[in-house]
């Protein structure tokens, strides 16, 4: 007795197998084995997604003015001993928003758009007026057991205090600053009073969509 295979299902299976092989997966003894998680393999896993995103942003690239590229540094314009980072908030619909999006495409792994409360920053090198990198924070994951256990929150306390917490979802330096380990410098900016003050000013009078309450959040973590 022969088994009839739906042509669509067979085609879909072939496409899935082909895609997984292109990402470095192998099948041994009917078991799917993932590639080793090296930096190069992680970049490869995201390469198709990145390519699709770049194609979808074709109109965005077309409308950019050539002068926007003047904000990007070359190696000769950087003095490692005089790097002076400065945060600038990004508002939607501005040249800063375009610059943020453009800079994010210099990375091999696509960035998340985030969710909930979000604040984006450009990080400038005030020594030369060039863009160093990007920083962005968003609402935290609601359920994260290691976090709750580390802080000592029970369920009730978590729902009361989580409004004061944000997660970073974009943190990094762009070329050529990434060659100087400036990503580590930018990650340190998460602890600055500027980030805290901007958050408190933006959200101190907001009302929660679900709770319909103003919990007067103050960024603490």
Which SS3 state, helix, strand or coil, does residue 158 take? helix
Domain identity same for 193 and 157? yes
Angle at 146 between CA 200 and CA 32, to 5 degrees: 120
List, in order, residues 6 or more apart from 188 with CB less than 8 Å away: none
Domain identity same for 167 and 82? yes
Decide if 83 is inside a domain.
yes
Domain identity same for 14 and 103? no
Domain count, the chain: 2
User: Model confidence over 34-84: pLDDT tens digits?
Assistant: 888 888 877 877 788 888 888 888 999 999 999 999 999 998 999 999 999
List, in order, residues 6 or more apart from 186 with CB less than 8 Å away: 85, 123, 132, 133, 134, 135, 171, 172, 173
State residue 25's pLDDT score: 85
d(CA 32, CA 168): 32
Neighbours of 199 (CB within 10 A): 19
Neighbours of 80 (CB within 10 A): 11
| Whole-prediction pTM | 0.82
d(CA 154, CA 107): 39
Decide if 180 is inside a domain.
yes
User: Model confidence over 99-145: pLDDT tens digits?
Assistant: 999 999 999 888 888 889 999 999 999 999 999 999 999 999 989 99
Decide if 49 is inside a domain.
yes
Does a cis peptide bond (omega within 30 degrees of 0) precede residue 5?
no
């Amino acid at each position: 007795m022969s088994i009839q295979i739906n042509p669509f299902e067979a085609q879909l299976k072939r496409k899935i197998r082909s895609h997984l092989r292109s990402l470095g997966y192998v099948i041994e003894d009917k078991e799917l084995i993932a590639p080793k998680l090296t930096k190069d393999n992680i970049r490869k896993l995201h390469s198709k997604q990145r390519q699709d995103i770049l194609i979808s942003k074709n109109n965005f690239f077309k409308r950019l003015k050539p002068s926007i590229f003047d904000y990007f540094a070359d190696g000769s314009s950087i003095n490692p001993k005089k790097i002076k980072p400065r945060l600038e908030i990004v508002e939607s619909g501005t040249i800063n928003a375009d610059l943020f999006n453009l800079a994010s495409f210099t990375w091999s792994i696509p960035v998340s758009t985030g969710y909930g409360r979000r604040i984006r920053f450009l990080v400038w090198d005030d020594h030369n007026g060039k863009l160093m990198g990007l920083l962005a924070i968003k609402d935290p994951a609601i359920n994260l057991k290691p976090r709750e256990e580390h802080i000592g929150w029970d369920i009730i306390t978590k729902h009361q205090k989580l409004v004061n917490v944000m997660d970073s979802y974009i943190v990094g330096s762009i070329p050529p600053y990434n060659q100087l380990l400036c990503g580590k410098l930018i990650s340190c900016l998460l602890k600055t009073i500027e980030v805290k003050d901007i958050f408190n000013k933006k959200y101190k009078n907001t009302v929660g969509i679900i709770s319909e309450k103003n919990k007067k959040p103050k960024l603490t973590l």
